[in-house]
Homo-oligomer: A and B are copies of this chain.
Amino acid sequence: MKRLIFCLPFIVGNAWAAEELMQKAQALFKPIPTEPPSIRGAVLTPEKIELGKMLYFDPRLSRSWLISCNSCHNLVLGGVDLEETSIGHGWQKGPRNAPTVLNSVFNVAQFWDGRAADLQTQAKGPLQASVEMNNTPERLEKTLSTIPGYVERFKQAFPDDPKPVSFDNVAKAIEAFEATLITPNSKFDRYLKGDDKALNDAEKQGLALFMDKGCSNCHNGINIGGNGYFPFGVVEKPGSEILPEKDKGRFTVTNTASDEYVFKVPSLRNIALTPPYFHSGQVWDLRQAVAIMGTAQLGAKLTDSEIDSVVTFLHTLTGDQPKVVLTSLPPHGKDTPLPIVEVTPEGTVKPEGTRTH
């Protein structure tokens, strides 16, 4: 009896604090749903998703036939390439770190500078970028329309379209597949859904700190980020290795002075799987990334134990990774343009016309 009386205030206090913490978190964050969302109000048909999956893994979408969407957004690696910045056609180094494709459907816009309104628009970027897949819409349409197995799939995926095999539909199908690449059921998601035991005490402490220190001012919502734009270095600019001077971020999209060095807040979903960090990809250690965020964005020099605590929380954001079954791709036809791997100003040494087919 004595013991019960002694313990009671502690238990009550804990329960109250626990409830308050969960309510505060539920007001700021939302769990990842277990089913893919609709896209612009449209239902994702299985035909469209399956076609999108095939295209996502098909390196023939690139000029060289060596680079697929999955090369830089690798689904066995948390939807990224684990490179500082991506490597593309001719082993050229791209300008920014590849963001994860996982849960990207929940971002307000795509790319680090938000220049693509949606995944459909985003998909068209790397396909054409000379340092990435280095293709053209015309060549891509020629490629896919000369692969009989694809022609059939496009018809099924876009039954009402008079020209099913089109660059636009390639992007739409890829978007449909990417919308399925969501990672529900992280510890934190289970917590947000009301399971108080889903997080242990250290993880809850990290969550509390994440909110108290102000991390959640930018990193909130369903993707714990991905929903707004902020300058990198609100309080103090990081060094030029981490924030290179020449990449002015959203300024190049809006041409507005106040958008200099403004970037989309990255999602922290699965962050433990997706180093290196920031658009420049120079920071491999999550602890260091948290420390930089403290000084650059919050004007706070976090202690080592505070950093550890936030990182402990961040590890609870790793969700169930998508289970993807690889599909064998249809063989190309006799009129399909063959791969070009050479890198020259004209993009080719050996003209396509001279190839033996």
Structural contact, A329 and B90, CB atoms closer than 8 A = no
Q: Which residues of A from 279 to 317 have beta carbons under 8 Å from B?
A: 282-285, 288
Chain B residues, Cβ within 8 Å of A332: 82
**For the complex, what is the distance from the CA of A292 to the CA of B2, rounded to whole Å?**
96
Kindly list chain B residues whose C-beta atoms are within 8 Å of the C-beta of A323: 325-326
Instruction: List chain B residues, Cβ under 8 A from A60.
Output: 82
Copies of the chain in the assembly: 2
A273 contacts B326, C-beta separation under 8 Å:
no
Q: Is the CB of B90 within 8 A of A91?
A: yes
Q: Is A167 an interface residue (CB 8 A)?
A: no
* A265 interface residue (CB < 8 Å to B): no
Residue from the list B64, B93, B334 in contact with A87, Cβ < 8 A: B64
Inter-subunit contact B76/A328 (CB<8 Å)? yes
Whether A26 is near chain B, meaning CB under 8 Å from some CB there, is: no
Q: List B contacts of A324 (CB < 8 A).
A: 325-326
A234 at the interface (CB under 8 A from B): no
Interface size on A, residues (CB 8 A): 47
- Segment of A125-133, A200-208, A243-251, A338-346 in the binding face: A338-346
Check B334 against A76 for contact (C-beta < 8 Å).
no
A341 touches B66 (CB 8 A): no
* A40 on interface, CB distance cutoff 8 Å: no
Q: Specify which chain B residues have a CB less than 8 angstroms from the CB of A209 in the assembled complex.
A: none
CB distance from A319 to the nearest CB of B (A): 10
Tell me the nearest residue of chain B to A54, going by C-beta: B76
Q: Separation in Å of the A185 CB from the closest CB of chain B?
A: 13
Q: Indicate if A77 sits at the interface (CB-CB under 8 A).
A: yes
Can you sample 11 A-B contacts with CB below 8 Å?
A59-B77, A64-B87, A77-B329, A83-B339, A91-B341, A282-B356, A284-B338, A284-B357, A285-B334, A323-B325, A325-B325
Chain A interface (Cβ within 8 Å of chain B)? 54, 57-60, 64-66, 71, 74-78, 81-83, 87, 90-91, 93, 272-273, 275, 282-285, 288, 321, 323-329, 331-332, 334, 338-339, 341, 343, 355-357
